[in-house]
Structure 1
Amino acid sequence: MTAVEKSDLTGRARLREAALELFAERGFEATSTRAVAAAAGLSPALVTRHFGSKEGLRAAVDEYVLDRIGRELAEVDPNAGLMDSLGKVSARLFGADPVLRGYLRHVLLEDSVASADLFGRLLSGARMEVERLSSAYDQQEPDDEWAPFQVLCLILGPLLMERVMQPHHDGPLFAPQALARRSAANQHLLLQGFYGSLGDGTGG
C-alpha cells in the first residue's frame, strides 16, 4: 500500500488487504482464514466477526477490487483522447500493481461460481465502456454482443497469460514502456483494425 500505511487501517481493512495479497499469491482455496489473520496481525475470530466466513471475506475483496476498477474507469474523459486515457487507466491499474494482477489471475482461472460472477461484473463494466466508446467515435458500430468480450480479452489476456508470455518478450510485460506500446497497439486495433479498410470483411 502507498497512500495509507497498513498499521493505520481498521481491523476490517487490514484483514481485507491481507486476504487480497494472500489470494493473489496462493489462490482462494489454498489460503486459510488463520493465515489471513496472521498476515494482518489479528485474531482469526475477527474474520468471522467482520465477514461472517471465508466466502464473505472473499466477497469483500471482490467488492474492493471492482470498486477500485470502477473508480479508475470513472476518471476516463470521453472528450480528452478516450482511447489514450483508457490505456493510461489500464496501466495504472495493472502495471503498477502485481498484487491486483495476481488476484485477478487466480480468481478468473479457478473455474468457480465466484470467478464466473466476477467475470460477469467485469463484462458489465466493459459493456458500458464500449457504449461510451461508440458514442464518442463516429465510426461503424461494433458487434454489441462480442465487443465487450474482445475489449476484456485485450486487457486481461496479458494479465492471465503473463507467466507464459514473459519468456517470449524482451523486458517485463507490465513495465511502463511495454504497457505504452501495448496500449497503442490496442488502440490501433480497436479503432482501425489490423489492416484498416483493406479486405471485404468476410474473413473468419
Structure 2
Amino acid sequence: MTETTSPDLTARARLRMAALHLFAERGFEATSTRAIAAEAGVSHALLRHHFGSKDGLRRAVDEEVLDTFDRILADLDAPAGGESLMATFGTVTARLFGADEVRRSYLRRALLEGSAASGDLFTRLLDGARARLDQLGVDGGPESEPERESDRLWAPYQVLFLILGPMLLEPVMRHTLDDPVFAPDVLRDRSAANQRLLARGLIGARSGRDR
C-alpha cells in the first residue's frame, strides 16, 4: 500500500496526492487523469466527479501547496536581535521544502513550464509574501519616497528569490556540493551565510574576508 492509496485518506485527498506525485515526476502534460486515478486506487469516474478535469485537479494541487506555503509564512515572526528578515524567511520556509522532495519537484516543474498556470501560481506566491511583509510592518526604510516605493515593490520578489532559488536550481547545484542541497547541515550553513551576507552586504562580506 502506498501513501496515495492509504485508507486513512478520503478519495479526494488520495487523488490530489496522486496528482501531486505524478505531476512532480512526469509533468502536467505527460500525466493522464487515468494514470492519476490508478495511482490513487479509485475509478476514473470518481476523479471526474470530484475535480471535473485534469485542470481542476491541478488547481486543487496548487491550492494545497499554496495553503501550506501560507501556513509556513503565518508562523514567521518579526526578526529579533539584528536578524535579517530575508534570512528569517529563508530559514522558516526551509521547513516546507527541506523535507519534502515531492513538493520541491512539483513546484520546480510547475513554475518552469512557463504556462498561464505557472504565472498564476507564482502570482499567488508573490501575493502571499507581500501580504506577510505588510503584516510585519515592513517599509522602505529611511530612504527617499521613490526608493521606499521601489523597496516595497521588490521586497516580496527578493523573498521569493531567496526561498525558491535553491529549489529551482537544485538539479544543477547538486553537482557542485558534496551533500544534498536540502540536507539539514547544508540548510543550516546556507541560512547562516544568508544571514551574514544580507546583514553586511555581499561586497562588505568579501572585503572583510580579504583583510
TM-score, normalised relative to structure 2: 0.82
Report deviation, 1:139.
Answer: 6.8
Residues 114-133 of structure 1 aligned to structure 2 (within 5 Å):
114-132=117-135
Corresponding residue of 1:63: 63
Q: Provide the identity percentage.
A: 58
Corresponding residue of 2:161: 153
Cα distance in 2 between the residues matched to 1:154 and 1:70: 16
Corresponding residue of 2:37: 37
String of CA shifts for 1:56-78, please: whole Å, max 9, x gaps.
00000000000011011111122
Change beyond 3 A, Cα 1:20–1:4: closer
Residues 179-198 of structure 1 aligned to structure 2 (within 5 Å):
179-196=187-204
Report deviation, 1:197.
Answer: 9.9
Q: Please identify, of 138-147 and 65-74, the stretch whose mean Cα deviation from structure 2 is larger.
A: 138-147
Change beyond 3 A, Cα 1:119–1:95: same
String of CA shifts for 1:20-71, please: whole Å, max 9, x gaps.
1111111111111111111101111111100011100000000000001101
Change beyond 3 A, Cα 1:86–1:150: closer
Change beyond 3 A, Cα 1:191–1:139: farther
Alignment length, in residue pairs? 197
String of CA shifts for 1:127-146, please: whole Å, max 9, x gaps.
22333556399776571222
Q: Please identify, of 84-93 and 63-72, the stretch whose mean Cα deviation from structure 2 is larger.
A: 84-93
Q: Please identify, of 188-197 and 150-159, the stretch whose mean Cα deviation from structure 2 is larger.
A: 188-197
5+ unaligned residues in a row in structure 1: which ranges? 200-204
Select 2:105's aligned residue among 102, 105, 109.
102
Cα distance in 1 between the residues matched to 2:151 and 2:206: 19
5+ unaligned residues in a row in structure 2: which ranges? none
Report deviation, 1:164.
Answer: 1.0
Change beyond 3 A, Cα 1:77–1:44: same
